[in-house]
Amino acid sequence: MEFSYSIRPATPEDADNVVEMIEELAMFEKMLDQCKLTPQQFKEDGFGPEPYFHCLIAEVTLATGEVKVAGYALFYYIYSTFKGKNVYLEDLYVREPYRKHGIGGDLMKTVAQAAIEKGCVQYRFACVGWNTPALNFYKSNGARDLTAIEDWHMIRLEKDKMHSFAAKLGKK
C-alpha cells in the first residue's frame, strides 16, 4: 500500500477516532475490560480550560487521495524532584496496516521535540513486558528499562481504593 503521512495536533473533532484507537490498543494489550474512556470525556479532559494532556494524530494520505487516521501519541508534562521538567508518553499507537513505515517513531520524535521546546530533561513512558519488539525499539534508541536497572515499579490506586485511602485523611 502506497501512502504518505503527516503528524498534527489532535482537535476535539478527533475524539471518536482517538477513543476508537485507544480501544484497539487496549485490545492489543489484553486490557479492553479496563478501557472506559468516552469521546465526550476525551474532549472535556483534553480541550477544556485546563487540558490534562496533549495528543498528536498521524494521518495517511493514500494514493487515491483518501486521508485516514493511522495512529496517535498522547502525552503530558510531569515533574521530577530530582531532575525537573519531564514529558510522559501515555500512549503510542499505530494501526496495523500502517505499522513498520516509521509512523510510530516519528510520533515519538515529535513528542521528544515538543518536550525539548518545553525544556524537559527526561522522556518517560511504560511498556508491557511481553511487547518485546517495542522494548527493543525503545532500547535501540537509547531508552533505559528502569525496572531492570533501578528496580522501579509502577504503582497505582484505582478509583475506589483512592477514595477509601483519601477518606482516612486525619484519622489515625
Q: Is 138 marked active-site? A: yes
Contact (Cβ atoms closer than 8 angstroms) between residue 101 and residue 59: no
**What is d(CA 87, CA 46) in angstroms, rounded to the nearest whole number?**
16
What is the dihedral angle through the alpha carbons of 29, 30, 32, 37, rounded to the nearest 10 degrees? -20
Kindly calculate the radius of gyration of the chain based on its CA atoms and give it in whole angstroms. Answer: 18
CB-based contacts of 147, cutoff 8 Å, min separation 6: 153
Please list the active-site residues. 138
